[in-house]
Every structure is written in structure tokens, then in C-alpha cells.
Structure 1
Amino acid sequence: MRSLAIVGSLVAALTVGGPEAANAAGPDHCGARTAVTVFRDGGVPLLDWRENLEFDGRGTLWVSHIVRNRVEGYAPDGTLKASFTVPGPGAIRRGPDGMMYVNFGVSPLMRDGGVMRFDPAATEPRPEKVFGGTPGINGLAIDSAGNLYLSRELATGILKVRPDGTRDEEWTRKADVFGANGLEIVGDQLYASVLVNGSSPVVRVPLADPARHTTVTRLSHTVLDGKFLDDLTFFGDGLVVAAFRSGELIRVDPATGRSCVLVDGLRMPTSVRVPRAFGDHDGRRELFVTEASGRVVRVTIG
């Protein structure tokens, strides 16, 4: 989520949605006991914006720092292990090949955008461009075949890019969701949180038939209560969505659309992920969150 997208979202909160959004019921609290601890301190809010994170399954947490144009790698104890330049880095995901993929050019000031790839096992990771020429992207998901899916906050259509770097234009045209932000694949379904919509919807897109996309839930009471949904992840038996404006993590049941607030009081959360092979951190009851405040925090449930 960038400054340009935030302005667009403010406008959209007043203009997008309609009667269905106005009748939506906002989520209550889940009732689970949660604790928030700081894994990495932030600096000046917005100026120290950390945008996204992902675990490589080899003991490193990778974090994109959009303002400082770098990707950082952290050990389980919070020690900085690696840092290298990526222009305007956004979403980070682990591919089926064990490589890490990161969007670049996410900042609105960047003329180019696309995806880079780096080896998380390298002593000094060196990112290489997978493809470019795609400004205005944000979220990223990767399926088991290595296809890339990219969201665009101020455009219609979730982009699908094949492993060879070519675009699947037909799939993209059918996945005509406007203003998508976070992306997460669960089984044969792609879930997208939508930033540019005052009703704060979460959408399900079948990978095999993207034209049959449906709205799972709408998380705002009215169009004036837009939560500015950012990234999302699969946790336990449901989705957890980061709500930038309201400072919440919201749990969503993808089968029923029921939702509840798992934790609130966060400082502009931008991404949420489950720890994987990261020291003694427990992926069954922990979540890690990046914030536009610059912090990386750990949420413990139960």
C-alpha cells in the first residue's frame, strides 16, 4: 500500500460499495487471548515503512523495507543477517523452487515494476529480475507450478505470469477484480483482499476458472468505515487479514464468510505471515506482522 493508493482508497471509501456494502456487519472480537510483542523496533512512522514479510523455511525471515529500497533478512532472535538493495520492494513469497520472489517498483515514484528472485541460502543474496515492465503492482502469490499472481491496487484484473515470464492475458482478463491488494493461495483457490472498496471485501478466485470469482465477505459496516485491507495469510483453518486503517488482524472463515477481530491496536499493519521453520517460533499459535510504523511484531494466540 503506497501513498497514492491511500489517496485512491479514501476516495473509494466514499464512492465504491453500494447498498450491499452499507448493510454489511463489521466483525466482533474473536474472544481469543492474544499477546503482541515487538520483534523489531520501528523508527519514524511511514518513513520507516516495512511493507511485507515471508519465511524461507531455512531459519530466516525476509522483510521488505519500501522507503529504504532494501530487503532485510532476520534470524529468529531478531539479529539482522542480510540486507540488499531492491528498488521499491513489496510482497515477498517463497517459490516452489525454494527461491524467494519479491515485487519491485511498488512505490508510485518508480517507472518500472515487476518481480525479482534471490537465493535465500546464498551468503550474499543477489536479486535477479524475473520480469519487468509492470508498474503499479502490490501483492504476490505463487502456485505449486511456479505461476506468479500479482495484484494491482488501482487497476482491474489480477495478473498471472507464467514461470517463463510471459503473461497469461486470458486468465488475467477473467480475474477482473478491481483494487486487489493481498493475495494468498489455499488449495485450488486464490484469495484476495481488496483495498480500493469501502465495504472491505475478501474475494475468492478459482485458479482453474477465474471468471467464477465470488465475494467471501465484506468486513465494513458502511462505505465510510473502510478498513483498507492489506495482506492476508492462511492460519489454522481460516484466513487472517491485516486491516491497515483500523489496526486489526481479522479472522475470516472462507467457507461461511464469518469474521471476528483477532487482535487490534496495531500500528498500520501491512502484512501478516505464519512462521515456518523459524527457530522455536510456533506456527500453530504465532503470527508475524509488518507495519508502516516500521515495527515487526509477533502475535501469540492462546
Structure 2
Amino acid sequence: MPLCTLMFAIVAVLAAVGLSPAQAAATPLLTQPRCAGPAPSVDVFKAGGLPLADWRENLEFDGRGRLWVSHINNSQVEGYDASGRLVATIPVPSPGGIRRGVDGLMYVNFGIGPADALTGKPSGLMRFDSTLDRPTASVFATLPGGINGLAVDGAGNFYFGREFAPSVLKVRQDGSIDQAWTDAAGVFGTNGVTVLGSELYATVLVHPSSPVARVPLADPGAHATVADLSPLPVLPKGLDDLEARGDALYVTAFVSGELLRVDRATGRTCVLVSGLITPTSVRVPVGFGDADPARELFVTEASGRIVRVRT
């Protein structure tokens, strides 16, 4: 979830009822049961700073031993090794979603901050080669404003959430917009997006019931709701990015401070972790030291923290 007007509105609502974002994360807002089994362990991989000021927005593993994190307020992408050591920084204006492309390069949204929208600065997609000692990012595509989240399918196409637009945005491997697909994928107000096989999943930020949508890549008009994660009249959870692993979706809830597990087939939802501080994205570790992709997840927060969840 970028530093957008809606986020500040949510923070203002919390303040009006006497809650800081951190307090909201600690306040019982559970509308789903705890996930069965032993409680996961949560360890801090990278310490944070001042909440909402040290905002880490998204993360991705390059499969070569590096974790790449978009630090929206510092306008840079950070590279970490498995020990937590910062090994690289790459200037990127207001970076957001970050993913590895099918060509092995790293792709990252840029220009998603509120100042960019207000001043008319461009937004779009940049890319860099994470194998270089000192990687630099270059513009791959200039895109409409309001993009957020990033997913890549097996053919190399890119997908973006759009918080105040009527659909997910699809961009072809050559950087051109697939307008017909975009028009058909009519899910309004999406934030995080992820692709698993032939399906795209998206969180919806602007709807009070906090739905997660499924969009078939070959038939985007057949989109449907997988689950509503904030049954009314519960305070909206403020869904952010999500990840797919096996039969489950793992969804970050910015406002309620939760990491939720959603069964992709049935929509049944449980709370895997609560008490997080404004979580923004979640990824399965790939090729990252001794991290286990079958049992671990990494989560970024707007508090600046990066945490490791072991299930």
C-alpha cells in the first residue's frame, strides 16, 4: 500500500477513535479464527524506525541469495544478503511493487507516492540486473498514475493493482498496455496482485468488506470474489499485498496488523499472525540462505521492519 491519500485517511480515522496504527494492530479486530496448529514464530530480520516514516513497501527474492526491498520514503531499492547485511542501494523514485521477471531481471514500480501524483510526475516500471556488483535501474515503461502492486505471469506479462481505477492493468512483455484485457478485468480499487499458474489474485483496498478477487488470465471477464475478509460492520482491514503458495493465499492487512491465510478453493480464512505493525507485503523466500520456502514467509511493514514468519 503506497503513501496515498487513502492511507492517510485510514490513519486519520484511527486517530479519531484514539488508536495509532500500532495500537490498531494490537487491538482485537479478529473476524476469522486463528489458523490451526502451533503458532508461527515471528523474528525481526531488519529493524524498523519511525512508523509510517521508515516505510518499506514491498519485497522480492532474486533466487540468487539476495532480498530486494522497496523503501518508498527513501526513494531507493535495498538489497540484503541472508545475514541481513545491506549490500546494495539503487535510486528509484517512490518505489512500490517489486518482482523478478521471466528474463531474470528485477522489475519495480516507481512514482507511486502522493507527491508524484500531486505534481504530475511520471510513474511506471523500472528494471535492474541484480547480478551486477553495482546495479542501476532504468525505465522500462511509463504508465498511468495510481499503479500499485506488481505480478508477472509465466509468459512475462506484468500486472498492476490500481487503487482508484476500475480494473487491474496488464502490460505486455514489450511494455505496451493490453487494453482489451484490462477493460475486461473489472475489479475496482485493487492493491496487491499475485499470479499462480493460470490465475491472478488481487486484494481490494477501497471496498469495506476487504475482498480478495480471482481473475483468470485467459478470461479476465470471469473474475470473482474468493473471500470477504472484513465482514461488515467490522472496521476494514486495509488489505495490502499478497502471496500464493500451494492451495493458500497469504494476505497482509495493513490496518488490523494481520497476516491472513485464505484457502484458494473454499475462501475459508484464518489469522496466521496478528500484532504486526502496518504490514505491507509478504513473499516466500527463494534461494535465500537456509530459508525454507515451504515453511517461511517474509513480511515488510510501514514501520520499516522486515520480519520472518516460520510456520
TM-score range for the pair, normalised by the shorter chain length:
over 0.9
Contact 1:37/1:297 (<8 A) preserved:
yes
What does residue 5 of structure 2 align with? 4
Instruction: Give the length in aligned residue pairs.
Output: 289
Contact 1:71/1:84 (<8 A) preserved:
yes
Tell me whether 1:279 sits opposite 2:289 in the alignment.
yes
Q: 1:164 aligns with which of 152, 155, 174?
A: 174
CA offsets per residue over residues 176-208 of structure 1, 9 Å max, x none?
Answer: 111101111111000001111110100000000
Amino acid at match of 2:184: K
Q: CA deviation at 1:26?
A: 2.8
Q: CA deviation at 1:214?
A: 0.2
Tell me whether 1:43 sits opposite 2:49 in the alignment.
yes
Q: 1:182 aligns with which of 192, 215, 220?
A: 192
What does residue 27 of structure 2 align with? none
What does residue 26 of structure 1 align with? 31
CA distance in structure 1 between the partners assigned to 2:219 and 2:246 by the alignment: 26
What does residue 21 of structure 1 align with? none
CA offsets per residue over residues 156-176 of structure 1, 9 Å max, x none?
Answer: 111111111111111100111
Q: CA deviation at 1:9?
A: 6.1
Give the SS at the match of 2:115.
coil
What does residue 26 of structure 2 align with? none
Contact 1:154/1:178 (<8 A) preserved:
yes
What does residue 16 of structure 1 align with? none
TM-score of the superposed pair, with normalisation by structure 1: 0.93
What does residue 18 of structure 1 align with? none
Contact 1:270/1:290 (<8 A) preserved:
yes
Contact 2:125/2:143 (<8 A) preserved:
no
TM-score of the superposed pair, with normalisation by structure 2: 0.90
Tell me whether 1:60 sits opposite 2:70 in the alignment.
no
Contact 2:204/2:213 (<8 A) preserved:
yes
Distance 1:177 1:7, change over 3 A: farther
CA distance in structure 1 between the partners assigned to 2:303 and 2:46 by the alignment: 11
CA distance in structure 2 between the partners assigned to 1:199 and 1:11 by the alignment: 19
Give the SS at the match of 2:221.
helix
Give the SS at the match of 1:109.
helix
Amino acid at match of 1:299: V
What does residue 97 of structure 1 align with? 103
What does residue 249 of structure 1 align with? 259
CA distance in structure 1 between the partners assigned to 2:179 and 2:49 by the alignment: 41
Contact 1:236/1:284 (<8 A) preserved:
no
Runs of 4+ in 1 over 3 A off after TM superposition: 7-12
Amino acid at match of 2:66: T
What does residue 203 of structure 2 align with? 193
Q: CA deviation at 1:10?
A: 8.1
What does residue 130 of structure 1 align with? 140
- Calculate the aligned-residue CA RMSD, in Å: 1.6
Gaps of 5+ in 2: 14-29
